[in-house]
């Protein structure tokens, strides 16, 4: 696996692994032992960047990651997140909580569940409108000075918030959704990151699985939270799937899957991007990893974008 560097600080595999689905976000989920086996399989195939959060499960995902990566902890980069209201029983409350005292509580709890002595990349999961971002960045900066955290990250923050946080403590990476069918960050966010030297971690680079072609209209389980998203239902899903079929046809002509083309397209948007597709299947993992070796020229990129034009995607990202 080729390497990339986030924010000049974190050397990671060119493709990471988003671990959210391991604990059942898309219905089902894996046992701790099965998740650990998948995580070790990813490491054995060159993946060194793993993304989790206290929210996933909640709490279960961090335990899965901790067990799977414990034996190779010094050879991997682990990212986790704080910022939501979650009680001790794992019940999510309304709104956000990035109060400095709460950040410290979450970090200590996450370190325990992960079984590690420091978090490599700590994200604010979502911006808290009730807590100044300067207080958030300052608190994480203190945790970095104490050795509990290595790097500060933000998720789904706007350009102004990124600048304010970065002025207090250097931001190493921003995580936001980015794929062929979600390109909002291109206008303002990516230029801001590049001006400041901040890395970018696209989550859902396969459109929450839709761009793989494996999520056909009407095929989702009832307990899959994607059923609540506009893009995955009704006529919107049917229209969007026609775009996926065009991408599949293009991939077939080149000897790649639609997922591989979609990932390769993201990787070609800059060396400062490290996408984190998620999967619960080793075969899918291997398929995704292979995308890191695909070389696309300008004509290839144009053909991919023509197959999935942003203007023809139906439905918003969230309900």
Q: Among 308, 303, 292, 304, which residue's Cα sits nearest to residue 12? A: 292
Phi, psi of 232 (to 5 degrees): -100, 0
| Angle formed at CA 176 by CA 170 and CA 179, multiple of 5 degrees | 135
Q: Which residues contact 117 (CB under 8 A, 6 or more apart)?
A: 111, 147, 148
From residue 26, give the alpha-carbon distance in Å to each of 180, 208, 238. 21, 9, 20
Strands 77-82 and 49-51: parallel
Q: Which residues contact 39 (CB under 8 A, 6 or more apart)?
A: 17, 19, 22, 50, 64, 65, 68, 69
* Helix and strand element counts for the chain (H, E): 10, 11
123 in active site? no
**How far is Cα 76 from Cα 18, in angstroms, rounded to an integer?**
14
Q: Among 238, 257, 267, which residue's Cα sits nearest to residue 178? A: 267
Q: Which residues contact 197 (CB under 8 A, 6 or more apart)?
A: 7, 8
**How far is Cα 118 from Cα 291, in angstroms, rounded to an integer?**
31
Q: Which of 26, 56, 123, 178 is catalytic?
A: 56
Q: What is the DSSP letter of 101?
A: H
Whether the CB-CB separation of 201 and 6 falls below 8 Å is answered with: yes
**How far is Cα 282 from Cα 288, in angstroms, rounded to an integer?**
10
Catalytic residues: 56
């Amino acid at each position: 696996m080729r390497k990339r560097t986030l924010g000049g600080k974190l050397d990671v595999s060119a493709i990471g692994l988003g671990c959210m689905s391991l604990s059942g976000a898309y219905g089902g989920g894996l046992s701790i032992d099965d998740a650990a086996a998948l995580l070790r399989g990813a490491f054995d195939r060159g993946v060194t960047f793993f993304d989790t959060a206290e929210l996933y499960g909640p709490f279960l995902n961090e335990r899965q990651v901790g067990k799977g990566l414990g034996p190779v902890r010094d050879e991997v980069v682990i990212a986790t997140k704080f910022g939501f209201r979650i009680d001790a029983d794992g019940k999510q409350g309304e709104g956000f909580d990035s109060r400095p005292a709460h950040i410290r509580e979450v970090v200590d709890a996450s370190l325990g569940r992960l079984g590690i002595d420091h978090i490599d990349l700590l994200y604010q999961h979502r911006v808290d409108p009730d807590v100044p971002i300067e207080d958030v960045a300052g608190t994480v900066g203190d945790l970095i000075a104490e050795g509990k955290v290595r790097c500060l990250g933000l998720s789904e923050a706007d350009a102004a918030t990124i600048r304010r946080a970065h002025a207090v403590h250097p931001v190493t990476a921003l995580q936001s959704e980015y794929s062929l069918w979600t390109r909002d960050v291109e206008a303002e966010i990516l230029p801001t990151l590049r001006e400041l030297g901040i890395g970018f971690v696209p989550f859902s680079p396969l459109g929450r699985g839709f761009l793989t072609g494996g999520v056909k209209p009407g095929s989702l389980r009832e307990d899959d939270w994607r059923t609540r998203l506009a893009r995955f239902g009704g006529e919107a899903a049917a229209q969007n799937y026609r775009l996926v079929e065009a991408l599949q046809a293009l991939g077939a002509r080149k000897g790649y899957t639609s997922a591989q083309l979609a990932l390769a397209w993201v990787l070609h948007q800059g060396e400062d991007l490290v996408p984190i597709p998620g999967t619960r299947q080793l075969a899918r993992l291997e398929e995704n990893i292979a995308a890191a070796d695909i070389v696309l020229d300008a004509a290839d990129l144009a053909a991919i974008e023509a197959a999935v034009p942003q203007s023809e995607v139906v439905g918003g990202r969230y309900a």
